[in-house]
Amino acid sequence: DVKVTQSSRYLVKRTGEKVFLECVQDMDHENMFWYRQDPGLGLRLIYFSYDVKMKEKGDIPEGYSVSREKKERFSLILESASTNQTSMYLCASSLGQGATEETQYFGPGTRLLVL
Amino acid sequence: AQSVTQPDIHITVSEGASLELRCNYSYGATPYLFWYVQSPGQGLQLLLKYFSGDTLVQGIKGFEAEFKRSQSSFNLRKPSVHWSDAAEYFCAVGGYSSASKIIFGSGTRLSIRP
């Protein structure tokens, strides 16, 4: 079974703090994704990565950056947290490697509160 | 533009009753289609997926979905719901690409009446 883990289930941070959200997958997947989930808006893609050190912006990248130094780990960084970044953050991974069918597997999520 | 619409924000059904959750999509080519379920406080779990072949797809937990190309729909069904099915359900569409992004609907919250 694919396992995607996220470093924290709940986080409380103050406005202006630098925040790191970590995601690790254990299935040698090439693709990794960060989403945020807000009521009524579903999941919105922040960034994704299709290889080590490679990244692409998703639909809402503003205020976020990412890092992928190792294949299994994908970090989401909030350089200066703001209250409008209070949300549930979900990490996912998929096989990649030229696969034509791209099921994504999700971690349990990190609920971030910015005060 | 690619999009997924789940017209029902919240549905309540009685335990033991049948269930149908609606999903309509807009996609320029033959899509992959997914249904995910999210239990409270949890991540998303894949229920089922369609990418080719038989248009009636069986998934986990007794769920099934039918791909209807003419209606651009991929509705999720279950003949008899259990209290443990209370959750949020997301329909999603993706494409045939190794770096394909998946587009999610806004979700349908399912409540079960005892």
Q: Which of A30, A42, A102 sits opposite B104 (nearest CB)?
A: A42
Q: Which of A58, A96, A107 sits opposite B43 (nearest CB)?
A: A107
For residue B21, the cross-strand partners are: B76
Range A8-11 contact pairs with CB under 8 angstroms and sequence separation of 24 or more: A8/A110, A9/A108, A9/A109, A9/A110, A9/A111, A9/B41, A10/A110, A10/A111, A10/A113, A11/A110, A11/A111, A11/A112, A11/A113
Closest-CA residue of B relative to A99 is: B98
What tokens does B11 get? 């549905």
For residue B111, the cross-strand partners are: B12
pLDDT, tens digit (0-9, with 9 covering 90-100), for A15-39? 999 999 999 999 899 999 999 999 8
Residue A12 has pLDDT above 60, yes or no: yes
Q: Note the pLDDT of residue B19.
A: 97
Q: Which of B98, B99, B104 sits opposite A43 (nearest CB)?
A: B104
Whether chain B has a CB inside 8 Å of the CB on A43: the answer is yes
Q: Note the pLDDT of residue A101.
A: 62
> Within 10 Å of residue A74's Cβ, how many Cβ atoms?
29
Q: Tokens 């130094």, residue?
A: A69
| Mean pLDDT (whole number) for A75-100 | 89
Q: Do B94 and A41 touch (CB under 8 A)?
A: no
pLDDT, tens digit (0-9, with 9 covering 90-100), for A42-74? 899 999 998 898 899 998 999 999 999 999 999
pLDDT, tens digit (0-9, with 9 covering 90-100), for B57-72? 999 999 999 999 999 9
Between strands B3-5 and A65-70, the pairing is unpaired
Q: Do B43 and A4 touch (CB under 8 A)?
A: yes
Q: Note the pLDDT of residue A98.
A: 60
> Cβ contacts (< 8 Å) between A40 and chain B: which residues?
9, 106
Residue A14 has pLDDT above 50, yes or no: yes
What tokens does B36 get? 């995910």
Averaged pLDDT of chain A: 91
> Cβ contacts (< 8 Å) between B94 and chain A: which residues?
102
Q: Note the pLDDT of residue B27.
A: 82
> Cβ contacts (< 8 Å) between B90 and chain A: which residues?
42-43
Low-confidence ranges of chain B (pLDDT < 70): 95-100
Coarse DSSP helix, strand, coil percentages of chain A, rounded to the nearest 5 percent: 5, 55, 45
